[in-house]
Structure 1
């Protein structure tokens, strides 16, 4: 079988029928390097009243979901409507190193911009160097940090806040 290239990658909005495959990816991609919550149980889905399909963009390669990004308004406040926040990014191990994460982040920024957003923000664990490099490569800069915000596996970890302008 021919090796698929990043050109074969499709980025598309999630649909309700994607939930089972998306939940499996979410469980498989879980890591203490990137997650502050416990690994989701096998029976857990992804979608609920706060996590709706319209918030997710999926990366599909060869008909299989190999990544997702979730972006949402960070608060319900009218004064904050111009900001979106990435609140989830995962790439299947088999698709890493192919630019999938970068394509997802850029697609999320494009969608936010098209919806009138001027800024994209995110939070990343201080020890997650691969994610920080990805975000920096996509134009995000560190705007602040909360020292020792999380205790994970017996270690205190900083919460790094990053942002990128989406206009001018």
Structure 2
């Protein structure tokens, strides 16, 4: 069996708009999304609040297979030492290749480079695979908002996780 190459992680560029938008649409799932399934006309991937500098891109053999959105947790100066993961997606064809783990590790390094002390995220309570991945990378549950979302007829917890960088 041939081993898959390690993912290459880099910062996004404006040229990544369409591959990232397509990946975002292709990976939509009620397992992690609180917004309805995207429908045409599609919203742009990059926004004024979240452009290429906030996006880490994972590639395998030059093909975009994942991304992680990393930003400030809030606009408050007293909270500037915290970064928040605001999105993580991995293409189905790249699952199990270490892409998510590589993105999380790169985000931690980027947060450290930016002078952050903590990194946080939110994950839906029923997203067991993501929660296991985060826990394996040192994230701990720091709070739970029970029944925060009503998704497909079921109430789902919002789980807050974090770690030191």
TM over 0.5: yes
CA contact (8 A) 1:4 1:62 kept: no
- The aligned runs of 1:2-151 (5 Å cut-off) are 5-7=4-6, 9-42=7-40, 43-151=42-150
Give how far 1:40 is off: 2.0
Equivalent pair of 1:6/1:99 in contact (CA under 8 Å): no
Q: Deviation at 1:50? A: 1.3
In 1, the alpha carbon distance for the partners of 2:17 and 2:128 equals 29
Deviation, structure 1 residue 39 = 1.7
Following TM superposition, by how much is the alpha carbon of 1:98 offset from its aligned partner in structure 2, in angstroms? 1.0
What do residues 135-155 of structure 1 show as CA deviations (whole Å, max 9, x unaligned)?
A: 001100000100000000000
Q: Give RMSD over aligned pairs.
A: 1.3
Task: Quote the offset at 1:63 in angstroms.
Answer: 1.4
| Whole-angstrom distance in 1 between the partners of 2:141 and 2:5 | 28
> Structure 1: which 5+ residue stretches go unaligned?
none
Indicate conservation of the 8 Å contact 1:126/1:160, yes or no: yes
SS of corresponding position for 1:113 = helix
Contact 1:11-1:104 at 8 Å conserved across structures:
yes
In 2, distance between residues paired with 1:91 and 1:44?
20
Offset of 1:5 from its aligned partner?
1.6
TM-score, normalised relative to structure 1: 0.94
Q: Runs of at least 4 residues of structure 1 off by over 4 A?
A: none
1:79-138 deviations in Å (ceiling 9; x for gaps) = 000000000000000000111100001101100011000000000000000000010011
Q: Which moved more, 1:123-132 or 1:35-44?
A: 35-44
Q: 1:4: Cα distance to partner?
A: 6.2
Aligned residues: 164
Gaps of 5+ in 2: none
